[in-house]
Amino acid sequence: MNIKYEYSYNNLSVTDIELFESEYDINLPSAYKSFLLFNNGGKPKNRRFKTSDGKITSSVMLFLPISKEEDLNLGLFFEKYNQSEILPSNLIPIGIDPADSLICLDIYGEDKIFFCDMDYFEEDNELKDEYILLVSKHFSDFINSLQET
């Protein structure tokens, strides 16, 4: 997983990730933990992706950092979208696209990546399944497949 950034955030330790997992009572996939340890999110140079059905093309504008010092961070998005049950409990938002749709990681299984099209989100409801689209079957494959814009 070799990814270059226009900018990234302060480095993390294994303890930082363990504290995050403990605070939110979740277990992050090992490939994603390695990714966070390497760069803790940021704006990637290669960021273009397509959903697996080829219907939607978008870009990762930001991979969310764990660092709470940042305005946009993993904990804030987890609270907003998971604790309020907008997203299914198996998906955690790890990134955003230019239109504020979410790039989500499946934390209960094979670390699949999904695009959650928030253009169709209705207040006081969870996001409907038809707007949650598979991008990649594995996180590392997703990272390696990102293209230049």
Whole-model pTM: value is 0.93
Quote the DSSP letter at residue 119: G
Number of separate domains in the chain: 1
Q: What angle do CA 56, 142, 4 make, to 5 degrees?
A: 110
CA dist 65 and 69 (Å) reads: 9
Share of the chain above pLDDT 90, in %: 75
CA dist 77 and 81 (Å) reads: 6
State pLDDT tens for residues 39-59: 899 999 999 999 999 999 999
Domain CATH number, residue 39: 3.40.1580.10
Is residue 124 very low, low, confident or very high in pLDDT (cuts 50, 70, 90)? Answer: low
Q: Which amino acid is at 9?
A: Y
Number of helices followed by number of strands (H, E) in the chain: 4, 9
Helices 14-24 and 74-81 meet at what angle, rounded to 10? 20
pLDDT at 110: 82
Tell me the mean pLDDT in the region 97-115.
Answer: 94
- For strands 48-50 and 42-44, give the pairing: unpaired
Domain that holds residue 84: 5-145
